[in-house]
Structure 1
Amino acid sequence: MKKLQKMINKITLMSVIILSNCSVILAQSKKYDPYYYPKLREYVDSKQIDFSSEYKKWLIPDNSEKFVDITHELLGNGYVFERALFNSEQFTYENIDGESYYKETSFNGILGDKYTRIEIFIHPEVERIDSLTFTVNGKTKVGKNICDFIGEIFIEHIYKVWERANDPDSPNYYVMVCNYLFTEDKEQFGAGFFKGTYGAYCYIDEANKKVCLDIDAGGGELNNRNYVGIWQNYKTKALKRCIWGEYRLPYTFDFDIGDEDMHVNPKYNSPEWEQWQSEIFNPEEKKHWWEDCQKESCRRN
């Protein structure tokens, strides 16, 4: 009887140890949220410059989710891509026939460890040069300095993801994971290049065989179409963190101290960020600087 009790005790202890280890494994595999400070600093170094690899890992589904890579399936079936997946047009409305309409705008972002405001305008016209590569062009603006750029966006994966593994007939979202390289005009003042990881949420229009921008997935307007990487000056070789996109931005630490909406920490305030704040409440004040811009000397801080 005592031997049996000892055996039961050992089995119980081993079960507790196994369950404890499983809990640790699950906790380690759980993704952190790169959009909200101060939890973020527990997982990554705020002094790090390039977060493109971390962002890619965050975008790609992990073993806690049910997912399938449908990239080559879409290509094999001749799907096309909505241009809003690659430019900076902003969704305005959808008509009764389900057609989406967009307006020209610019992305908002941060440059360097002082979180200087950078604006990126990607022209509406996008060219597909092969099955997974798209060329774009546009302009960047920091302070009063404006540069032209050309670039490529390469799709690595498009995932169909179910967060509820027991309900595989109702996919929660599709996520597109890309690499990008944008090169500014070397003849212009303060020019350099941008590279990193681009992520966007999309949906599949099977009737028209089209991959479209999904403005509701991934937290809706909070974190869609984000570019996470670096900018490097051609001449000085200065390397800086550069992250831009729609609304809330990942890996910006104490720069964004908002709860539900993006709110700039007063320690990083500047005339450019004050202008951004004004534009949020008064969209009609947003200047279309990309339409009529002249080069003016203004160093990138």
Structure 2
Amino acid sequence: MNAVQIRSAERALSAGTWLIVAGAMLYSILTVTPLAAAHTPDRWDWTAPILPLVVDAAVVIVVRLDAVLARLGGDGGRWPVVLRWMTGFMTLALNVADSALKKDLVGMAVHAVAPLLLIVTAETGLAYRRAITAAVVALEAKQQTEREARERAAIERREEAARRAREEREHAAALVREQREHEARMAREQTEREAAARREKREREEAREQAERAERERREREREQREQDREQREREAAERVAREQRERTERERRERAALLSAGPVTEKLPEDDARAIVAAAHAEGMSVRTAAELCGWSVGWVSTRYAELREPVNGVAVAGR
């Protein structure tokens, strides 16, 4: 049996034990509560379920702690045994008491089933858990022994492999030494043959380098000449653009001056003309009121046009519409 099967058996045992405990607790509460209520003053009838709950809680504690101790291979001494049997007998006595007082043997037998099953299940579960713990310990010891054996075998294999590798390295080193000696002889002979070839090759390369150097110098002079020509063309283009920009600026200034030279008007100009005057006034830095006097439109309308001129549209300031 492997560890997975052992854990499966433990889960089955735990599930079955707690199912029996839960059923016995429920049955005990339903059976003992009427008996406790019948022997309790009327005003304290509500305390009747406390007694079976206390006894069943002790049963739960015993079952749970016995399971933990058994899994750990521990022994709680004689007091856990006393508590286990005492709670079992208390549960049995409370369940059959009502039928015993009525001298109902069948009722006693029926009500004794759950407590007896609980007592036997607790003892059997404890024995099972101890047996499972012993089996787990034995299985772990066996696995540990197998691991140690595998480790020793692995160490022996590594040592054997290391020995073989060392012998192979020594043999390979000897072969390499012989090969190096042979290669050294061949290299000396080859060196002598190549010396003359290198001298001849060097002379040819020097001649070729001189020719290439002369060609590179010629190309460099041509490239510098082309660069100078390009820079000259760029300077001329820049000067032409600057000149056109100055001319355009001067032309726009004259146009604005012409628009603004008319002075204040007494009535509203057409919207296109008013927009052109507002744009010119904005460009000249005039106030909103002055622009309104020049075009005849309201200050609010001119303020709106100024705001449009200040707001860029796609990165370009609006110059009127």
Query: TM exceeds 0.5?
Result: no
Larger radius of gyration: 2
By percentage of residues, which structure has more helix?
Answer: 2
By percentage of residues, which structure has more strand?
Answer: 1
TM-score (norm 2): 0.16
TM-score (norm 1): 0.17
**Greater relative contact order, per chain length (Cα 8 Å cut-off, separation 6+):** 1
